[in-house]
Amino acid sequence: MSKVLIVDDSPSQLVGMKRTVEKLGHQVVTAEDGAAGVEAAKRELPDLILMDVVMPNLNGFQATRTIAKDPKTSHIPIILVTTKDQDTDRVWGMRQGAKAYVTKPIDDAELTRVIKDYLPAA
């Protein structure tokens, strides 16, 4: 069983993504904003991170960059899951260290496929 960190400030989005991840047989840890997400990544060392972008304190681009540059957490694949759907957002997100980019509203099949691309089957 892999551990997935979900970072999103929307309780309804957290619940939906958590349900998808748990259906795949993985353990879920959550954080409500980018700063808490960075701390949780360092503390939990998850196998994968699902990161929102538009959040208070530290946005998802900043949190992704922080996690990707830290030697302790740089090995963790980060998937940005966001409403920001412009090509420039996608390019910027990937430049910050994200491995994949999924736009909201979330297509469950797409999210499942992307998670499976980065995690072994449970």
Q: Is the peptide bond before 105 cis (omega within 30 degrees of 0)?
A: yes
> Residue 121's pLDDT band (boundaries 50, 70, 90)?
low
Q: What tokens does 4 get?
A: 């997935």
Whether this model's pTM surpasses 0.85 = yes
How far apart (Å, rounded) are the C-alpha atoms in residues 111 and 116?
A: 9
> What letter does residue 27 receive in the DSSP assignment?
E
- Give the residue carrying structure tokens 């957290």: 14
Please give the mean pLDDT across all residues of the chain: 96
* Residue 69, SS3 per DSSP: helix
Q: Which CATH class is domain 3-118?
A: alpha beta
Q: What is the pLDDT of residue 110?
A: 96
Residue 86, pLDDT > 80, answer yes
Within 8 A by CB and 6+ apart from 59, the residues are 34, 53
How far apart (Å, rounded) are the C-alpha atoms in residues 5 and 51?
A: 8
How far apart (Å, rounded) are the C-alpha atoms in residues 109 and 101?
A: 14
Q: What is the pLDDT of residue 106?
A: 95
Q: Where exactly are the structural domains of the chain? A: 3-118
